[in-house]
Amino acid sequence: MLQLTGVTHVYPNGTQALTDVTLTIPKGMFGLLGPNGAGKSTLMRTIATLQTPTQGQITFGDIDVLKQPELLRERLGYLPQDFGVYPRVNAYDMLDHMAVLKGIASKVDRKATVETLLNQVNLWDVRKKAIAGFSGGMRQRFGVAQALIGNPELIIVDEPTAGLDPEERNRFLNLLAEIGENVVIILSTHIVDDVADLCPRMAVLAQGRLQLEGAPHELIDQTRGRIWSKTISREALADHRERFDVISTRLIAGSTIINVLSDNDPGDGFAAASGGLEDVYFSTLANLRRDIDQTAA
C-alpha cells in the first residue's frame, strides 16, 4: 500500500507544483485524473524516486521511500509520460538491457522475461528492428514491456494511452487490467474514459492539489440527479454559459450539447442526464475555476 502524506513540491524557479497531497493507494488500479499542468507528472516522478519533494512523506508498505529509495526501486515499474530511444539498438536488445538494469542476473531468466513480454505486448515480430524507427504506439508498448520486468509491486504509468489508436488503447488497457489485482497500479491521465473503464478508485489532481478522491461509482452517485443536458446552437452558447453552471460542452454530429450542474431542474429544454465520470471530472474543474475567479475578483 502506497501512502502519501503532505507531499509538497516547489521547483527552484518558484513554481508550486504540488501542495499538501495526502493519498492512500491500496492494491489494484488507481486512476489519477487531472488537466495538463496539474502536477500529475511531478507527483508520478516523485513517487518513482526521481525527485524528492520539498516537504512530505511517502511510504510503500514498510519502506520509507524518501529515505531508502533504492528499496522501492527494486519493486517499481515506471512508464514515463515522455521517453526517447537510443539510436542503433533493437527492441530485443534494449529490453534485455533494461532487464539487466532491473537486476535479472541469470541469462536464462532474462531470455524468458524478454521473450514473454515482447510477445505479450505484440512486439515479437519486430523485435530485431531499431526502436528509433518505431511508431508512437509501438514505442509505448515497449515502454509497458519494460515497466513489467521483474514483477513489480508498484507500477506507475503516466499518460500511457496518449497517441495510441483506439485498438491499441484497448489492448493496453486490457493488459493493465490483467495485472491489476495484486499490484498497486497508478494510472495518471487526462483521459477520463481510461479511469472510468478500469479503476475502482481514483482521485482528481488540479493546480497541485487533490480536488477529489474516492471510488468512481460513488462519485458518480453524488452527481446523480444534478446533471442536465440540452442541445443548443453555437450562437446560444455564450448566453447559456452566463445563465447556467455549464460544466461541459460537446459537439455531436455538428450540434452542440451542453451539460449543466444544477440541484433542480432548470427547465428551458434541459433533460436529465445520467452522469458519468466525465461529468464528475468537469464539474470538479468548473468549480475550481469558479473559485479562482471569485478569489481573483
Binding residues (CB under 8 A) for other proteins: these are 11-12, 45, 48-52, 70, 73-74, 76, 78, 80, 82-88, 97-98, 100-106, 109, 111-113, 115-119, 124-125, 127-128, 143, 146, 148-151
Least gap, CB of 139 to other proteins (angstroms): 11
Q: How far is the CB of 132 from other proteins (least distance, A)?
A: 10
Burial 8-22 (b: 16+ CB within 10 A, else e): ebeeeeeeebbbebe
Which one, 146 or 223, has the nearer CB to other proteins? 146
Burial 210-231 (b: 16+ CB within 10 A, else e): bbbbeebeebbeebeebbbbbe
Nearer to other proteins, 49 or 248 (CB): 49
User: Toward other proteins, which CB reaches closer, 104 or 280?
Assistant: 104
Question: What is the smallest separation between the CB atom of 160 and other proteins, expressed in angstroms?
Answer: 14
- Contact between residue 87 and residue 132 where contact means Cβ atoms under 8 Å apart: yes
Classify burial at 253, counting beta carbons within 10 Å of its beta carbon; exposed 0-12, middle 13-18, buried 19 or more: exposed
40 neighbors 199 (Cβ within 8 angstroms)? no
Q: Shortest Cβ distance from residue 47 to other proteins (Å)? A: 10
Q: Which is nearer to other proteins, 137 or 275 (CB)?
A: 137
Q: Which is nearer to other proteins, 1 or 112 (CB)?
A: 112
CA atoms within 13 A on the CB side of 33: 28
**Do 99 and 54 contact (CB within 8 A), yes or no?**
no
Phi and psi at 131, nearest 5°, equal -60, -30
Dist. CA 87–CA 85, nearest whole Å: 6
Q: Which three cell numbers stand for residue 133?
A: 524507427
18/260 with CB nearer other proteins: 18
Quote helix, strand, coil % in the chain, to nearest 5.
40, 30, 35
- 8-state DSSP, 141: H
- Least CB distance from residue 97 to other proteins, whole Å? 6
Min dist CB 173 to other proteins, Å, is: 20
Q: Residue 73 or residue 171: which is nearer to other proteins going by CB? A: 73
Output the nine-digit C-alpha cell for 187: 494510472
Q: How far is the CB of 129 from other proteins (least distance, A)?
A: 9
